[in-house]
Structures are given as C-alpha cells and as structure tokens.
Amino acid sequence: MPAIDPILMEIEQESKVTQRVLERIPGDKLTWKPHPTSSSLGQLAMHIATGQGRLAEIISKDTHEIGNMTQPQPGSHKEILEAFSQNTATALQTLKKLNDSQLMAIWTLTRGGKVLLSAPRIGVIRSILMNHFYHHRGQLSVYLRMLEVPVPSIYGPSADENPFA
C-alpha cells in the first residue's frame, strides 16, 4: 500500500466532519469577530475551506517561499462551501500523485530566502496540511458556540448533538 493511502482516507473522512461544521456557519455573521485581533468568522472559514487544496499544491513542490498570508473575506456562505468542496478535491488529487520517495523527501519552507522549516514531506502533510486544519476546525466550533449556533458532533457528542443517542 502506498504511504499516501492512509492520509487520503483520513482527509476524506475528516472532510465529512469539516463539511458539517462549515454548514452551520450563519451567512449573516461572516464578518463577526470574537476579538478585534481575531480573524472574522468568514475569514477563518475560508482559511479552512481553501487551505488544504492550496497547501497540497505547495507541498507537492520541493520548496516554497512564503508570501502574504492574509485571508480574504468571503461574500457568502455558499462561497465557503463551494471553496471547501473544490479544495478538498484538489488536495486529494494532488496528494494522490505523490509516491513514497517523494513523501520521504525533504520539503523546505522559506521566507525572504531564510529557511523556516525543513522536514520530510510526509511529516509536513501531517502537521501543516492536516493537524493545522483540525486545529482551525476546533477554533471554528468555538466561534459557533459563542454565536449560539448548535455545534455538530466532531469526534463524539457535543452539547448539541449526540450521534450515539
């Protein structure tokens, strides 16, 4: 079995959970922020919706020079859901092309020519492409709670939804 297969299966499984969380976003609250220094609800949702696809393309190269990291404000809830669908498909298609040798090869992130990170590609996929977005999905669930939106089950029951009942 290629080393990428379990990763692809996990992304597919987790995307279903993420889809449920993104579906709960109230379209009339996209500019809401829990704190002035925080991303808006819409910006955080777009980061989650677009990030895996963009990162998969970046990680498929040997190096990446980091640039502007600001997230645009989406115009609608529909835009977020469509971006998520497209970027999940892109991530899966892009990662599926990586062979075991490429997965074990060193990948490097730079800024201004200075190395910020250099690690085996498979580790970067796990930590940056996957865990990073699980973290932001958790952050988004807190935003939903603060807005009094029912939080869906993620890895088990939430206060609002119990898949085991």
Lowest-confidence pick of 5-9, 31-35, 66-70, 153-157: 66-70
Q: CA 149, CA 85: separation in Å to the nearest integer? A: 22
Query: 163 to each of 50, 87, 156, 160, how far by Cα in Å?
Result: 28, 27, 7, 10
Q: Kindly state the DSSP code that residue 66 receives in the 8-state scheme.
A: -
Read off the pLDDT of residues 56-95 as tens digits, 9 standing for 90 and up: 999 999 999 998 878 899 999 999 999 999 999 999 999 9
Domains identified in the chain, total number: 1
Q: Could you tell me if residue 10 is inside a domain?
A: yes
Q: Could you tell me if residue 29 is inside a domain?
A: yes
Say what the alpha-carbon torsion angle 74, 84, 106, 5 is, to the nearest 10 degrees.
170
Residue 70 confidence (pLDDT): 84
Q: Could you tell me if residue 159 is inside a domain?
A: no
For residue 123, the tally of other CB atoms under 10 A from its CB is 14
CATH code at position 62:
1.20.120.450
Q: Which two tokens stand for residue 14?
A: 């987790």
Residue 71 confidence (pLDDT): 86
Residue 150 confidence (pLDDT): 97
Q: Could you tell me if residue 164 is inside a domain?
A: no
Residue 28 confidence (pLDDT): 97
Q: Could you tell me if residue 153 is inside a domain?
A: no
Read off the pLDDT of residues 108-146 as tens digits, 9 standing for 90 and up: 999 999 999 999 999 999 999 999 999 999 999 999 999
Residue 8 confidence (pLDDT): 97
Contact predicate 116/110, CB 8 Å: yes
Residue 14's domain spans which residues? 4-146
Q: CA 151, CA 149: separation in Å to the nearest integer? A: 6
Residue 108 confidence (pLDDT): 97
Average predicted confidence (pLDDT) for the chain: 95
Q: Which two tokens stand for residue 132?
A: 């990073």
Q: Could you tell me if residue 18 is inside a domain?
A: yes
Q: CA 86, CA 128: separation in Å to the nearest integer? A: 19
Residue 67 confidence (pLDDT): 86
Q: Looking at residues 32-46, what average pLDDT do you find?
A: 97
Residue 61 confidence (pLDDT): 95
Handedness of CA 116, 42, 94, 15 (dihedral sign): positive
Distance from CA of residue 76 to its chain's centroid? 18
